[in-house]
Amino acid sequence: MSQRNIVLGVTGSIAAYKAADLASRLTQSDFSVYTVMTQSATKLVSPATFRALTGHPVAVEMFELSNPYSIEHVSLADLADVLVIAPATANTMAKLAHGIADDLLSCTALATRAPLVVAPAMHTGMWEHPATQDNAATLRRRGVRLVGPAVGRLASGGRGAGRMAPLEDIVDAVTATLGRDGGLAGRRVLVTAGGTREFIDPVRFLGNPSSGKMGYALAAAARDRGAEVTLISGPTALRRPAGIRVVEVVAADEMLGAVERELPGHDVLLMAAAVADFAAAKPATRKAKKEGAALQLELRRTKDILEAVRDVEVKVKVGFAAETDDLEKNARAKLAKKGLDFVVANPVGGTNSAFGSDENQAVFVDAEGTTPVPRLPKRALADLILDRVVGRLENA
């Protein structure tokens, strides 16, 4: 993502202070961030803050002789790979919707052909006003990506819709927008993530330590390459990624049902979930009491999801194999048995475990051979997996 240029428009909403953190996060994600502020935004946060956080000059005035750009709105418009306006006031949204260009930011927005991401932030009454709603609809119709606003406590004291969307959602929208012409553009990708829970009575379940991080990283990485992503997720503590359709399930049987229902029409299946192989044969309808010195549980085998959807037409199917022993051998057996294009095999158990970690060590196993991958952050591993998926799609 390095060398991608983001022009960040900051307008005079009280949420302008959050834009400083946004500028910092985008800069840390290796984007070059050029800030344009409206006059009213400069009353809330100093341009010097953005200058320091981004390492680039901050533009406010249209015709400032000391600035480094020649005709500033044109050069910023050309420079932008994406224009993000966060926070966007009702006033700025109105200008965007109607093509009004009376300051540097609105001139830049009119002149640029870069995609636009807009994060509205305003008083609930202003957001809900038909004028603003019409403007929002106009912008959406033109392909502008609106993020939020969120519902919550507002600076005015009340509660309602109008808070700027969480920064993570805005960053997600930016990366997804930049990736919309990527290697998975026009493709549909289904990802499963997290562990399943098999209840033995209403308050206890059999589970596993899967955090869902690998599957969520895959879903975000696929979205950022332009894919339309469906994420079938077991219970996790993770934030729902923006721009991804999430189907929540709890038990293995439910995950099976969701995959069977959702999979047709997808090009790729990435089966990262840690699905329980056994469930209680007769789950108790009431909480089991601790009578006796021991408890006997009868378990039944759950259905294997990958085997159940073996005949569904999907261009690329990827399975995971979590193994404590004989990693490659076991992964190779799963490749054949489950009809997969390749298997991502992870060592689990002991100090090396991928469960819950932000990193993962893997071995790719396919018909051609075995490729070890060094220990990497899960997002980086997700990108390597998708490189392979894209390669296979191109040859399919």
Our finding on whether 268 is near ligand CTP (CB under 6 A) is no
Q: Which residues is 364 bridged to in the sheet?
A: 344, 371
Choosing from 271, 280, 335, 385, the residue that interacts with ligand CTP (CB under 6 A) is 271
- Give the HSE-up count for residue 316: Cα atoms under 13 Å, Cβ half-sphere: 24
- Give the HSE-up count for residue 147: Cα atoms under 13 Å, Cβ half-sphere: 26
Backbone region of residue 33 per phi and psi (left: phi > 0; alpha: psi in -120 to 50; beta: other values): beta
Choosing from 92, 302, 360, 361, the residue that interacts with ligand CTP (CB under 6 A) is 302
Q: Which of residues 313-342 bind ligand CTP (CB under 6 A)?
A: 319-322, 334
- Work out how close the CB of 59 gets to ligand CTP at its nearest, in angstroms, rounded to a whole number: 50
Q: Which of residues 333-392 bind ligand CTP (CB under 6 A)?
A: 334
Using CA atoms in the order 134, 139, 141, 146, what is the torsion angle rounded to 10 degrees? -110
Nearer to ligand CTP, 231 or 275 (CB): 275
Q: Which residues is 83 bridged to in the sheet?
A: 7, 116
Catalytic one among 5, 67, 208, 330? Answer: 208
- Count of residues touching ligand CTP (by CB under 6 A): 14
Choosing from 82, 279, 305, 382, the residue that interacts with ligand CTP (CB under 6 A) is 305
Determine how many CB atoms are found less than 10 A away from the CB of residue 110: 14
Our finding on whether 304 is near ligand CTP (CB under 6 A) is yes
Our finding on whether 191 is near ligand CTP (CB under 6 A) is no
The residue at minimum Cβ distance from ligand CTP is 305
- Work out how close the CB of 239 gets to ligand CTP at its nearest, in angstroms, rounded to a whole number: 22
Interatomic CA distance for residues 72 and 242, integer angstroms: 32
Choosing from 60, 104, 275, 316, the residue that interacts with ligand CTP (CB under 6 A) is 275
Report which of 88, 277, 64 is spatially closest to residue 170, judged by C-alpha positions.
88
- Residue 208 falls in the annotated catalytic set: yes
Determine how many CB atoms are found less than 10 A away from the CB of residue 183: 17
Q: Which residues participate in catalysis according to the annotation?
A: 208
Binding site for ligand CTP (CB under 6 A): 252, 271, 273, 275, 277, 302, 304-306, 319-322, 334
